[in-house]
Structure 1
Amino acid sequence: MKFLDIRTDFAFKKVFGSEGSKDILLSFLNAVIDFNGRSVCDLTIVDPYNIPMLKGMKDTFVDVKAQLSDGSRVIIEMQVLNHEGFEQRVLYNAAKNYSLQLQQGQPFTLLNPVIALTLADFVLFPDQPLTNCFKLLEKKRFIEYSDDIELVFIELPKFNKTEADLETVQDKWLYFIKNAGKLDYVPKNLGQEQEKAFAIANESNLSTEELELQHRKRDYITIMRGAFELALKQGQEQGLKQGMEKGIEEGMEKGMEKGVEQNRRDTIINAHRAGVPPATIAQIVQLDVAEVCAVLAQLGQQ
């Protein structure tokens, strides 16, 4: 058997955001979020997974949305690549989903809480635990202002349990998300919901169209990770690390600019060869579509 890499946003949406994923999502949320001692007993999946919708998506901005039985809203996002402004985007999306609940003239009392759950395949908060939760609190006495917006982060690199170590439901879900793409069998000590999740993630149950999209997503991630590593290597070769240690700001800026410029060109070329559209490439490298097309035209790639 071969399973999807759940850490790609496509696979995550397929498993947790499909029409038949209600019981899976309920189990997952109750396992990883503290709902003040209560269990969520019902939810509605908002904007369920479907191929036509996914084809027009922005590459790293797909999430699963659910409305709980008490009206609260949960946004769940799988993020494999860190980027500048990522933490601000998480807060922005939570605030946007909170404010969009009201139509003009409606009272603020109709607003329901929003929980933004982010699973990150990189470390955001060094020397902190696996899960970190943020709320609005008074600065000195930590009095809670409101729990209407809550940000929850789970950093997968900090989860290192093996199959033999799995004890809690949370352990089993995080193991599934982090390791399913590397397994060729279904672990025996899982619950019914995790077994169902493995069945959804089984590539033999996917259409040709879904498999093609998954492979493109995986290639995109590989390209971007390679680009980040290249930028780091070039920065080190330019003496960027030494410049940072010595505080030579001018040399650091020059080395960074040169590395970023070359990295952008390499990313544009590699992404184009992988079949990524120019408009999507422009979002990745933060340039105008015309600038991306100009680079490709210069190199005879268009």
Structure 2
Amino acid sequence: MFNTSKAYVRQLKSGEQYELSQPVYSLNLVNDIFEPNLNNEYYHYYRLVHMEHTDRVIEGLHLVFVELPKFTPHNYSERKMQVLWLRYLTEINEQTREVPEELLANPELKKAVNALEESAFTDAQLAGYEKFWDIISVEKTLYGSAKEAEKKEWQKDAKK
């Protein structure tokens, strides 16, 4: 709760409007059982709700807890995904220089790795990164257009 609140507060600089703040989601993987009365329920989602009028919610802080001991995959595919995500969460950090290939082979994990890399960029690095991909996109478009024009020219010559 403490860290989630800090993340929420850090969004705004002094004097900025509160309306600019975005919700903060805290994902907590717990290697323990803290809701023993909720038998096989391993996923717990908490937010700030009015006690008497539960339809009244204060948006902002969202806390998600996953009790790992209660999670039991039903098949090999689920077990493999569990292991891959746990590896991602435990092996990837600011000292990581090379991501294991088996993590990058999974599209969801590759997307998570890319998002993590982008989140570490400074504003200048992010602008450069986006410019790089814009240039690549333009080059691909120009190349595709040239190939299409070449193909039409070849078809025109073939009909002669």
TM-score between both structures, scaled by the size of structure 2? 0.49
Q: Which has the larger radius of gyration?
A: 2
Larger RCO: 1 or 2 (CA < 8 Å, sep 6+): 1
